[in-house]
């Protein structure tokens, strides 16, 4: 690759960039976006990875961190042919980051801007690949929320979807309303523009916009100010003049205003198959035009960290085994990137095993770049461009071996917990004193409190005090059968069968009425509320809600609808309805996601 072409794709690291992140030596900066900066690095086995370091503004927001932790854990479960596997992360450190496999190809945005609209055959294969990616993402309980051309990378064997689910964490922080933009208006769905509930159908709408963009070269709802574009998305029809007839039904269906009118991802795949004449979607040879395929080929050589991992340097005993395992795991995944801007290059010749970690970092001086706080030791600054003299440090300070053989940062020991035995001894001494002085009534109260403190059982409801900031407990994909209920105090939260007397306990699914199936609650056990589309499901919303009901019919619920549950025992639940058992299924159940805040409100006697 020419130096000029490389410079357009990879930016050399500056004094403001870290030299390594948790043991990953950085080779170049790939880009930056609303969430943070993205860097190129390699596993010890030589596979390229993209590392996204989250912006400090987000890192300092507790709600963002909580959501980010949840979303990354879900994203780690996504392993599809057309998705970017998350292979490593630190979501709780001072600088949160995540690493994905790296794709040697341009984004769809770059391909269309640089080479124009794609032919029908390419668009059909593109849409089918993204639809398969969405199926895997949705099965993991994730809605992408920010599917757009720059989050679709083009590899020589098909598209790759990146950044799934991360936008949801950004939505949780106040920064999104104070100058930090997450999401692209031109590729949002009507429900996003209106601030309503986001569901899997939201991603299908974005898929229709991507198909139109790839086939026409321009967004379906035009460009301009965010307010203008969002107004057209909600109120106007898409501009599809010039769209090939083979794509018209597919694109129009995905761009239906009502979420319920859009096709499911499996229907999208069938429509792609039909539009291709019931033949294989993959054509012999390149699936992309020659100009785009040549662009991918030009990105085949990526820069490496300065004199990265010289093979002659010794490694630690654990490093060869870990590096071999890392290379094996990396080869199981398609190379995928993680950036909101340009991603490119592939894997250079394997640079060899990682060097042993240095005992100490070099002191400041000429040619030494100092690390920003929290990123590790200083690393020698290479000369202009890429390459340079061998560094005197390895992958970071000594510590536990990471998933790819790189030593990770030392982890602090967990705080020592005081033994319950200590509590019991202390209580016994006090009890003896009380017996001597005849404090029998105080003794009863003290023993009751000691039993609770020592973990011998929960306090009774009238003794529990509501917590100002209780920790949420999330339970995904609960299948609640007919005549079963959920008790918010259960952990894990699992369906329990109603008693023969028909008594209910908190959230119950019943399909025994002529009015149809419903989710309900007996009023003595708590209160149930159906949230409006404009309301954001949260602990604060559920605490303040006053529109109570005994039950909600399923015909009033669309996938993604949310209900608040406040129990007489002091727990708060946020219930997200995901759907009903499919027709023909021998079981009758509803699928729910439930988040519980225990002891979040004052307990009431039933």
CATH number for position 133 = 1.10.510.10
Asked if 94 and 210 sit in the same domain, the reply is no
* Of residues 58, 95, 33, the one with CA closest to residue 175: 58
CATH number for position 54 = 3.30.200.20
**DSSP summary character for residue 404:** T
Q: Which helix (H) or strand (E) holds 474?
A: strand 472-481
| Average confidence (pLDDT) over 182-205 | 88
The pLDDT of residue 234: 96
pLDDT in tens, 475-529: 999 999 988 899 998 999 999 987 644 444 689 998 876 678 899 887 677 889 9
Asked if 288 and 162 sit in the same domain, the reply is yes
Asked if 124 and 236 sit in the same domain, the reply is yes
The pLDDT of residue 356: 36
State how beta strands 484-486 and 496-497 pair.
Answer: antiparallel
Rounded-to-integer distance, Cα 472 and Cα 480, Å: 20
User: In the chain, pLDDT over 90 holds for what percent of residues?
Assistant: 34
Catalytically active residues, by annotation: 146
11 located within any domain: no
381 located within any domain: no
Provide the residue range defining the domain that includes 237. 108-298
User: In the chain, pLDDT over 70 holds for what percent of residues?
Assistant: 65
Rounded-to-integer distance, Cα 348 and Cα 307, Å: 13
Asked if 159 and 189 sit in the same domain, the reply is yes
Q: Is 487 helix (H, G, I), strand (E, B) or coil?
A: coil
410 located within any domain: no
84 located within any domain: yes
pLDDT in tens, 32-69: 877 789 999 998 888 889 999 988 888 788 888 887 88
Asked if 516 and 550 sit in the same domain, the reply is yes
Domain boundary among 251, 271, 298: 298
Asked if 82 and 125 sit in the same domain, the reply is no
Asked if 73 and 209 sit in the same domain, the reply is no
Asked if 114 and 261 sit in the same domain, the reply is yes
Looking at the structure of the chain, the number of domains it has is: 3
**pTM metric for this prediction:** 0.52
46 located within any domain: yes
Asked if 86 and 112 sit in the same domain, the reply is no
Domain boundary among 298, 316, 345: 298
pLDDT in tens, 402-458: 333 333 444 444 444 444 444 444 445 544 544 444 444 443 344 444 444 444 444
The pLDDT of residue 605: 55
Domain boundary among 101, 134, 162: 101
Q: Does 394 or 78 have the greater pLDDT score?
A: 78
Q: Is 476 annotated as a binding residue?
A: no
The pLDDT of residue 167: 57
Rounded-to-integer distance, Cα 18 and Cα 4, Å: 24
499 located within any domain: yes
- For residue 234 the two structure tokens come to 């909600």
Asked if 88 and 144 sit in the same domain, the reply is no
176 located within any domain: yes
The pLDDT of residue 290: 92
Asked if 133 and 268 sit in the same domain, the reply is yes
pLDDT in tens, 205-249: 999 999 999 999 999 999 888 889 999 999 999 999 999 999 999
The pLDDT of residue 165: 62
Rounded-to-integer distance, Cα 594 and Cα 596, Å: 6
Rounded-to-integer distance, Cα 396 and Cα 354, Å: 11
Asked if 156 and 52 sit in the same domain, the reply is no
The pLDDT of residue 452: 43
- For residue 512 the two structure tokens come to 């025994």
Average pLDDT value for the chain? 74
393 located within any domain: no
């Amino acid at each position: 690759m020419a130096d000029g072409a490389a410079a357009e794709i990879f930016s050399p690291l500056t004094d403001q960039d870290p030299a390594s992140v948790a043991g990953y030596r950085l080779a170049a900066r790939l880009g930056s976006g609303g969430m943070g900066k993205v860097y190129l690095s390699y596993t010890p086995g030589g596979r390229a990875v993209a590392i996204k370091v989250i912006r400090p503004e987000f890192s300092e927001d507790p709600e963002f961190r909580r959501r980010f932790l949840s979303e990354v854990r879900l994203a780690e479960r996504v392993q599809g042919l057309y998705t970017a596997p998350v292979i490593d992360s630190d979501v709780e450190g001072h600088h949160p980051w995540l690493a994905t496999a790296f794709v040697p190809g341009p984004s769809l945005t770059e391909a269309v801007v640089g080479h124009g609209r794609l032919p029908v055959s390419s668009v059909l294969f593109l849409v089918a690949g993204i639809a398969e990616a969405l199926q895997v993402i949705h099965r993991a309980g994730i809605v992408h929320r920010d599917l757009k051309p720059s989050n679709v990378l083009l590899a020589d064997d098909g598209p790759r979807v990146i950044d799934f689910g991360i936008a949801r964490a950004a939505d949780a922080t106040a920064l999104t309303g104070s100058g930090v933009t997450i999401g692209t208006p031109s590729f949002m769905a009507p429900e996003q523009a209106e601030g309503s509930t986001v569901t899997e159908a939201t991603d299908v709408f974005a898929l229709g916009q991507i198909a139109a963009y790839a086939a026409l070269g321009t967004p379906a709802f035009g460009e301009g100010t965010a307010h203008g574009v969002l107004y057209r998305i909600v109120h106007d029809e898409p501009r599809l003049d010039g769209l090939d007839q083979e794509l018209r039904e597919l694109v129009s269906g995905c761009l239906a205003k009502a979420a319920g009118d859009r096709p499911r991802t499996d229907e999208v795949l069938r429509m792609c198959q039909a539009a291709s004449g019931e033949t294989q979607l993959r054509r012999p040879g390149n699936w992309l035009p020659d100009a785009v395929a040549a662009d991918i080929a030009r990105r085949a050589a990526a820069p490496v960290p300065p004199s990265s991992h010289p093979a002659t340097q010794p490694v630690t005993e654990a490093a060869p085994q870990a590096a071999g395992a890392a290379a094996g795991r990396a080869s199981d995944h398609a190379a995928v990137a993680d950036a909101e801007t340009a991603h490119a290059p592939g894997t250079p010749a394997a640079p060899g095993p990682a060097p042993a970690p240095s005992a100490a970092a070099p002191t400041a001086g000429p040619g030494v770049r100092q690390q920003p706080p929290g990123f590790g030791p200083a690393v020698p600054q290479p000369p202009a461009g890429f390459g340079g003299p061998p560094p005197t440090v390895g992958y970071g300070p000594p510590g536990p071996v990471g998933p790819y053989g790189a030593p990770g940062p030392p982890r602090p020991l967990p705080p020592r917990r005081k033994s319950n035995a200590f509590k019991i001894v202390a209580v016994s001494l006090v009890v003896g004193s009380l017996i001597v002085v005849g404090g029998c009534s105080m003794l009863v109260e003290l023993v009751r409190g000691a039993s609770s403190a020592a973990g011998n059982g929960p306090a009774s409801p009238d003794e529990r005090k509501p917590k100002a900031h209780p920790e949420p407990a999330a339970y995904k994909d609960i299948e609640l059968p007919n005549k079963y209920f959920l008790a918010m105090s259960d952990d894990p939260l699992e369906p329990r069968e109603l008693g023969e007397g028909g008594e209910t306990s908190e959230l119950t699914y019943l399909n025994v009425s002529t009015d149809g199936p419903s989710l309900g609650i007996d009023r003595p056990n708590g209160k149930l509320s159906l949230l409006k589309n404009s309301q954001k499901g949260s602990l604060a919303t559920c605490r303040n809600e006053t529109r109570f009901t005994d039950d909600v019919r399923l015909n009033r619920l669309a996938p993604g609808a949310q209900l608040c549950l406040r129990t007489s025992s002091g727990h708060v639940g946020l219930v997200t309805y995901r759907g009903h058992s499919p027709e023909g299924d021998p079981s009758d159940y509803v699928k729910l996601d439930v988040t519980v805040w225990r002891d979040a409100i004052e307990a009431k006697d039933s």
